[in-house]
Structure 1
Amino acid sequence: MLTSLNDLKFIYPWRSYQSELLKHFDSHISDDHFHVIAPPGSGKTILGIEIIRKVGKKTLVLAPTLTIRNQWENRLQNFFTNASSFRAYSFDLRTPNDITFSTYQSLYAFYKTFEDKSEYFQFFKKHKIETLVLDEAHHLKNAWWTCLMELKRDSKFYIVALTATPPYDNTSVEVSKYFTLCGEVDDEIAVPDLVRERDLCPHQDFVYFSKPEALAIDFIVDFRRNIAHFKDALLEDESFISFLQEHRFYNHPNSHLDELYANTEYFSAILIFLNACGFKIEHEKLKVLGFRKKDTIQFPELDLKWLGILFQNLLVSDRKQLLSQEDYLSQLEKRLKRLHVFERNTIDFIGENRLYKSLSNSPSKLKSIVSIVNAERKNLKEALRCVILTDYIRKEFLNIKAETVEDINKIGVLPIFQFIRQSCEKPEELAVLTGSMVIIHQSVLNAFEALETLENFSFAPIQIDTSFLLVQSKSTSKSSIVSIFTQLFEAGYIKVLVGTKSLLGEGWDAPSINSLILASFIGSFVSSNQMRGRAIRKDADSPNKTGNIWHLACLDPTTLDGSQEVDTLKRRFEAFVGLTNSNIPFICNGFERLNIPEEIPVESLQTLNTNTIKRATNRSLITQKWDKAIEKGARLTKEVKWLHKGTKPFKKQKQIYYFDALRFFVIELFFAVVLFNIEFIATRFNLIFQQGVFYVIKAFIVAFLVTFGYKFYKAFKLYIRYGYLYKKIKKMGLAILDTLDALGYITSNRNGITVRSHLEGKGYVVCNLNGANALENTLFTKALSDLLEPLESPRYLIIKTNLFRKRLDIENFYPVPELFGDNKQNALVFQKYWRAYLGRSKLLFTRSTEGRKLLLKARLSHIYNAFTEVTKESIIWK
């Protein structure tokens, strides 16, 4: 052990969960990896330094930003030494010391300076660097991963990986790559554990909705109306219909099979459009897809997605093959450009670029922010510490006229500042802090001067309100001004601080924050979780602190589901666990925990927002609900939910299928008995009929048998398909688990891992692993989700079939999960265990001609795909 590291000693008592984690240090580091998941506020950096001390080797610490890099040195000096006495450190990669603090960007730039990579490897050997600490390791999703992975392959290192948010939202391959570098998770500090210990404060997320301004609403409605008129006209456009009927895929499908199977969505879109026009698709067109004459196909509705696929191919991807029709295509292109749905070679009937960017940047959100700040100020009074984070500064809104503030049409630091300055009480408590612009009220100058001499800064009044000063440091360092503002905010001289997420969203410490407004458009898992971490830290000066985290959404008034703004929030909420808004609270991830209606009419926004403000002001209830919810669980568990989308609960629907089949069977049986015993019945009751009457009665009974026989056949098919679904999903889970084990992904004791599956009240089927580690859980849930999701374009298909199923026409097609579908050997292993649990099946490679044919057949007809419902990966405290 290095002497300098041996001299380090943590000078405070360890928290209980930190002590528990460190107690298992020897077993965790035995594979040369120590991988810890810990949320903001859990003392992750402190734990990292202690692990470095215990390993005792020369160390390179890598962080994603300079701010976080500097925090490592700060924590080391303040928590492990007396009087900041540790000197064996460096910030320069080229001159390393016992501990070198750097960034991923610096390492990558350093890596690129070596033409001969062996010299890069030799540098680390020469300086005897044996430990790599990867802070905020989720940033390793990009190119920085390469220079680290090559280093790891060349030499033996101790790898210490610390993260609050593993990149679980990536593909299975990327997740596997991440864990290859960092090792499997050795320990996780869960948010509920931290709240129980009050190392994180109780907190809750809230959504404040707005509707666009009147002009924006008119614009959206006109856009939607024009698209609808275009679609309706197109369905009756004889020229366009003839154009599609003459398309090579439709007119001569057998001559273009390879091309057709390579772009199945295109051919599907052609068929779906012609079907929507009322044309009966000839069997000859469907025969190339593997459909038989007796097969029934229910084509999807021609929605804007399918229309977009059709025109994206006609006007871009397939255009070179349609040169003989170029004049007609040019006319179509001009029509679409007039509708503003064809720009930069991209078709967009939904309006993702034209509409949703304007919604995410809607000035109505500025009014939402003002409403939230006013409500929080009224409730918290002098205790308010509110931070508003956004993406852009928008410097053009600094020097504007007072009467034009209401006309601001963009979201950004300065638009938010101007709205709050003009609309809120006590504007003197407002400030701006970004990397390139700093604004403070002149009444705070005395407090500012008590922290730093004013001579080191310049102060210039802004035109719109001279009581506010634009602050510029005379040195090049930003750290000083950030430190000063943090202290002014903590002391309450600043109560509302507007800044950028790039400066304050990650690594900035201000424990007093009790209200955070996320005015950011970014919906990524990692960024959202890091920003939330600013508000949920405990505050030693306010032991009863609760944190409110506010999210903003501007709704599309032409839809009921809120459209893309709500979808962005749903992605954001997958990243973290929190408290449900139910009467009986529990802890889980996902947007659904807020109990916001699936359909949100614009007319109900005011009521929805009023109720949200009411809940947000009852902070003591938030604390009580956290305490109750924590008592109900012991650990966070990943699980897969199959979401039943029927109008009736799944259990009830299953009973309906069962009783339908039973009812039609009894009716069938009754009429069959009557048919074959009609003469006996007539004699028994002394009835005398003419021979012709017997024939009429028999024909009537036969008609009943045919009618109810068909209904029994359909009901029996539905019951076979859905009746045993929950048991079937468990069997699928067992097949996945055994495949993971056979392929070497399971490192825990296999006998100690079980698959659990059960029905929830709403009819959701829930499946999860019990007894597995974090990596095993992640791979399992991703594989099961792949298996249950609607078919896209898997490399391999599993076809569940047997003679009985073929007779009933209920063959099922399932995608082989991505993790097993990378090569045939792995796919065959999966098929082996599938057969063991779910019976006979065929494995089909979809990149072959036959495979593409069956893949398109499976995607075209919902009859052949049992799972059109979606799945959801959830994390729950239980």
Structure 2
Amino acid sequence: MDLPADAVPLASWRFTGTLRTYQAEVLSRLTPSADGPLHVVAPPGSGKTLLGLLLAAREGHRTLVLTPTNTIRRQWLRAARELAPQPDAVSDDPARLADLTVLTYQLLSVTGDGSPFEDLARAEWVDELVAAGRSEVDAATWLAELAVDNTSAYRSGIRRRVRRLRGRFARQRPDELASVLHPNAVALMDSIVDAGIQTIVLDECHHLLDHWALVVAYLAGRIRESGGTGLLIGLTATLPSPDDEAEFENYDQLLGAVDYEVPTPAVVKEGHLAPYRDHVWFTEPTPAEATFIRRHEALLHELMLQVLSTPDGLSFMEEQLQPRGDGGDAVTDEDPLVRLDRALSEDFALTRSCAVVLREIAPQHPLAIALPAALFDRCTTDDLLSVLARFAHTRLLADPDAGAQWEYVRRSLADFGYHLTDRGIRRGRNPVETTLAYSAAKDHAAVDILRLELDGADADRIRAVVVTDFVVHGNHRGQAGDDAAGALRVFDLLAHDQATAAMRPVLITAEHLRVRDGDASTIAAALTELLGTQVEVSDGVGAVRDLRAPKVGSGRIVAAVSELIRRGEVRVLVGTRGLLGEGWDCPSVNTLIDLTAVATSAATQQLRGRTLRLDPAWPQKVAHNWSVACLIPADVVLDDLAEPRRLRRKHSHLWGLDADDPTRIVAGLEHALTTEAAEALERVLGKDRTATIEDLNRITISALPPRAQTHVDWRIGHPYVPRERDVVSVRDSRRAPPLFRTAPAIAARAPMRLLLGGLGVGTATAMLSEWGLISIEPAAGLGVALVGGLLIAASLSAPAFIRSLRDRAHPDAVYHGAAIAVVRGLRAAGRIGELDESTITARIEAASPERIRIEIGGSETDRRIIADALEELFAPVRTPRFLLRVDHGASGGFWPTAWLADRLSPGRTLLPVPRMLGRRRADAESFSEYWAQCVGGCSLRELNGLEGAVLLRIARTAQSRLDPTAPRTRIWG
């Protein structure tokens, strides 16, 4: 029976204010009494607390709110008491559970001894040993001894079992978890279930990666067993990174997909976060680092060439390129090209790599000489690694007598950041990447950026934070003669530079509170007043001094320094992202210099969130967030794209005003680099010797808008449409023109149409002459037949010519057809759901007529899959399974001219079939049929044999159709 309204928990709670646009939309989009969890992502300052309370109140059940810290718990208590009609309806006392109770995760997750995962893993290991024949006592004793005698083996075994347990944690029986939780935690859960709590709100739920996720799942399961809903409402500003697959799987199983994400621009446009701009500063390695980088690449190639040029290595490549016959015996009289064709058909990618590697290592080898040079391009590091990995598996790992050589190769590759395992080669962070990521040049970039900011109109308002990954980085490779990278090194530089020293910089880490010598006494006195305890200045020599505040935690020190920043007594703070990331709140900070190497969504957005808080002292506050990238100069042959890729990943998570068109809000590098800067970056990466990193920074400086203009450009308070689209951009070029649909078909069919038309007119003329209806000489009849044939051929070809001209005038229509073909192919393959094709558009950029933007609407998951496929379709060809010949429309024509038209420009007309559509032949064939319907004639070519090598080489000569400056982005609004 229904309870009266006043008996329903939270039913009388009221919010009398005005909801923000996105808050109202969340409440309308997320239906009450949902079967599964509710998962909301919203940036700091967007009102997540109020939103969580309103979602819980709408459910009408007693509610438990869990927070990661006591500070956040107090925020929830204050907000809840403003809605509750009676104070006793809200509690933070685990001994007095109310209609809404706010606790910390820690209260629920205390374990008896160690981690619940490890305890369960140990118990599972014992069970396995018992199943294998040991007694339970003997198994437990052996495990205890192993933990002491061979700690490494013991920890490895525990980790393997922990990974398995994490994958199925939500299905564990309650008694298994209860056995490892502290009795007090179990008793608290019993009280929660008995009190009739049914809804659990999880604040900052991105923390639910390990045992907290397990405990929350267990509690929700207990509530459901008692007849309650056990509804979970997850709220977070940043999603956890999927890089740690096991931990992310825990989170994903608990909360599932995101139900609603509030983008940062919505909060800015409603006036609850400060407007901002993202910028990039580029630098290049120091001379010492550059010398190390050149030496590293030479040593890596030398190692791989040394291993593969051995008789055993050469023999491996010979056998791969010249496989034995079907019976396993060598066929000595068989044509080498026939055997090469068979090898390419059996394993195209490896055989091609073996061919280019053999030509590199032993150019005079008879087989290398016999290989058709036109089929194979240059040898790359990836080719060497592919061959080396297969050689190591086939010849070394499989041979017990080659154990020493396997270890030599494995350890040598590890020195260069490559991990050779029994599964293959996996690339880790190599020394070149590490050197660039933590280059000393980035510290100098921080100085350059601060000088630039101090030259602006708002110089007196600048309050900056410089964030690093580490206090001191442990890797010294490539940094000979320099201090190790980290917060200490960059602070030392800021303290010595005249311009930045005037900003009175302070360094805070878990163990350091460091200032300039000239500022030490003044800052120590100010901190003494704020902390209520004496802050001492250490003795020392040089430009910096450490301050000591005995028995004062780092949290209080950070808060006190934040107050000095608010006053303007300190204007630059240096620290690590662990201390200055999530949880640090200093509204006066308006400039971030990000020297970290992280590019995950969580870490990137947490850092940017530090500068976006509204500043009561500056109502027109505008934040500047700077990323720094270290690039290998164009005049150095070595390629390493780790830094630009990291830069793209960082900005792919961030929204901002388009650097060229501030009326648009985009995610991706387009909001940090103008088109001119992006093109200059591509020239540096493309090894154009006329392009310099100094030119890049000059473009950045010239395009830097005043902060006041940025505030105007955000159009705060103006209405907006909260809509997102993914965008893939392509460009016309001389080597990769638009996808014109009909010209080859016209060229192939015209001769046949001319011949048939001429015969028809000639026959009709002869018949009319014979019947006496007309009188005509044979020569004149031949001319009439020729002219008639031309007229008929022209009339038949006219529609095709008109269509071709239309394609040239409107290439966006052709690319739109290509996008629709991809969508239909993905849908037929079961990769995406039903999609309204009207959400797919293509248009020519007004400011850049050579650029065509393909916009994709629909659900976030489907948008991403479609954009991935389109990006792959128009990207440079690598090693796909299938190629699509998209100008092949000459079937049924006169074969000599069809053959000629087929070979006029083949490199321009071969597109890689995206992996999602090329894994199964049926999917690839279906895609080619959709292409024929939506775009025009085509043919599907599978890469195998010598023909595959020819096609791949031709396809790789074509320039990418992707816009190199901004191939992929998202648009909001």
Using structure 1 for the length normalisation, give the TM-score.
0.72
1:17 aligned onto 2:21: yes
Deviation (angstroms), 1:474 = 0.7
Aligned with 1:450 (options 520, 524, 529) = 529
CA contact (8 A) 1:393 1:414 kept: yes
Number of the residue aligned with 2:127? none
Alignment CA distance shift 1:606-1:728 (3 Å): closer
AA aligned opposite 1:622 = T
CA contact (8 A) 1:513 1:534 kept: yes
1:437 aligned onto 2:437: no
Number of the residue aligned with 1:208? 281
Q: State how many pairs are aligned.
A: 794
Deviation (angstroms), 1:515 = 0.5
Q: 1:671-820 alignment to 2 at 5 Å? A: 684=779, 726-737=816-827, 754-761=838-845, 770=857, 772-774=858-860, 777-778=863-864, 781=867, 814=913, 817=916
CA contact (8 A) 1:376 1:617 kept: no
Structure-2 separation of matches of 1:261 and 1:151: 56
Alignment CA distance shift 1:21-1:224 (3 Å): same
1:99 aligned onto 2:102: yes
List per-residue Cα deviations over 1:596-623 (Å, max 9, x = no partner). 2212269632333244245446212222
CA contact (8 A) 1:2 1:57 kept: no
List per-residue Cα deviations over 1:114-166 (Å, max 9, x = no partner). 77832367854652243333334445567765565566567342121223344
**Structure 2: gaps (5+ residues):** 124-171, 179-185, 329-338, 767-775, 783-800, 903-908, 934-941
Q: What secondary structure is seen at the aligned counterpart in 2 of 1:758? A: strand
CA contact (8 A) 2:65 2:102 kept: yes
AA aligned opposite 1:545 = K
Number of the residue aligned with 1:861? 952
Q: 1:227-242 alignment to 2 at 5 Å? A: 242=314
Structure-2 separation of matches of 1:153 and 1:855: 60
List per-residue Cα deviations over 1:276-310 (Å, max 9, x = no partner). 6599989x999xxxxxxxxx995453212112222
1:246 aligned onto 2:318: yes
Deviation (angstroms), 1:429 = 2.2
1:622 aligned onto 2:710: yes
Alignment CA distance shift 1:348-1:355 (3 Å): farther
Number of the residue aligned with 2:48? 44
Q: What secondary structure is seen at the aligned counterpart in 1 of 2:31? A: helix
Alignment CA distance shift 1:615-1:99 (3 Å): same
Structure-2 separation of matches of 1:814 and 1:527: 34
CA contact (8 A) 2:727 2:969 kept: yes
CA contact (8 A) 2:275 2:714 kept: yes
Structure-2 separation of matches of 1:2 and 1:100: 25
Structure-1 separation of matches of 2:654 and 2:473: 33
1:118 aligned onto 2:118: no
Number of the residue aligned with 2:693? 605
CA contact (8 A) 1:211 1:602 kept: no
Aligned with 2:725 (options 622, 629, 638) = 638
Structure-1 separation of matches of 2:761 and 2:440: 79
CA contact (8 A) 2:52 2:235 kept: yes
- Which segment is superposed worse, 13-22 or 727-736? 13-22
Structure-2 separation of matches of 1:869 and 1:167: 34
Q: 1:470-481 alignment to 2 at 5 Å? A: 470-475=547-552, 477-481=553-557
Q: 1:336-355 alignment to 2 at 5 Å? A: 345=420, 353-355=430-432
CA contact (8 A) 1:227 1:349 kept: no
Deviation (angstroms), 1:451 = 2.5
Number of the residue aligned with 1:417? 491
CA contact (8 A) 2:592 2:611 kept: yes
Structure-2 separation of matches of 1:300 and 1:797: 19
- Which segment is superposed worse, 381-390 or 667-676? 667-676
Question: Matched residues, percent identical?
Answer: 19
- Which segment is superposed worse, 754-763 or 318-327? 318-327
CA contact (8 A) 1:392 1:500 kept: yes
CA contact (8 A) 2:241 2:602 kept: no
Number of the residue aligned with 2:332? none
Deviation (angstroms), 1:654 = 3.1
Number of the residue aligned with 1:581? 659
1:394 aligned onto 2:472: yes
Number of the residue aligned with 2:606? 530
1:164 aligned onto 2:237: yes
Deviation (angstroms), 1:213 = 1.6
Number of the residue aligned with 1:876? 971
List per-residue Cα deviations over 1:4-53 (Å, max 9, x = no partner). 98599799945523652465387355445332221233122343344345
Structure-1 separation of matches of 2:669 and 2:642: 14
CA contact (8 A) 1:44 1:162 kept: yes
Aligned with 1:311 (options 388, 397, 404) = 388
Q: What secondary structure is seen at the aligned counterpart in 2 of 1:27? A: coil
Alignment CA distance shift 1:178-1:732 (3 Å): farther
List per-residue Cα deviations over 1:169-193 (Å, max 9, x = no partner). 7799999986664355443322222
Structure-2 separation of matches of 1:92 and 1:267: 70
Using structure 2 for the length normalisation, give the TM-score.
0.66
List per-residue Cα deviations over 1:581-601 (Å, max 9, x = no partner). 215652111124413221226
- Which segment is superposed worse, 605-614 or 668-677? 668-677
Deviation (angstroms), 1:419 = 0.7
Structure-1 separation of matches of 2:258 and 2:758: 69
CA contact (8 A) 1:393 1:413 kept: yes
Number of the residue aligned with 1:127? 192
Structure-2 separation of matches of 1:82 and 1:27: 24
Q: Structure with the greater relative contact order (CA < 8 A, sep ≥ 6): 1 or 2? A: 1
Q: What secondary structure is seen at the aligned counterpart in 2 of 1:375? A: helix
AA aligned opposite 1:647 = S
Deviation (angstroms), 1:207 = 1.2
Question: Which entry has the higher C-alpha Rg, 1 or 2?
Answer: 2
AA aligned opposite 1:732 = V
Structure-1 separation of matches of 2:710 and 2:642: 29
List per-residue Cα deviations over 1:463-513 (Å, max 9, x = no partner). 2457744233415x4432232222222222221011110111122211221
List per-residue Cα deviations over 1:699-757 (Å, max 9, x = no partner). xxxxxxxxxxxxx9xx9xx99x99955313213314545776xx9x86xxx68774413
Alignment CA distance shift 1:273-1:631 (3 Å): farther
CA contact (8 A) 2:277 2:624 kept: yes
Structure-2 separation of matches of 1:430 and 1:50: 43
Structure-2 separation of matches of 1:118 and 1:259: 56
CA contact (8 A) 2:116 2:211 kept: no
1:497 aligned onto 2:501: no
Structure-2 separation of matches of 1:804 and 1:686: 31
CA contact (8 A) 2:63 2:101 kept: yes
Number of the residue aligned with 2:452? 375
CA contact (8 A) 1:786 1:817 kept: no
AA aligned opposite 2:630 = C
Deviation (angstroms), 1:420 = 0.6
List per-residue Cα deviations over 1:619-670 (Å, max 9, x = no partner). 1222233339x979623423252646x63396x5334x75465456657877
Structure-1 separation of matches of 2:926 and 2:666: 32
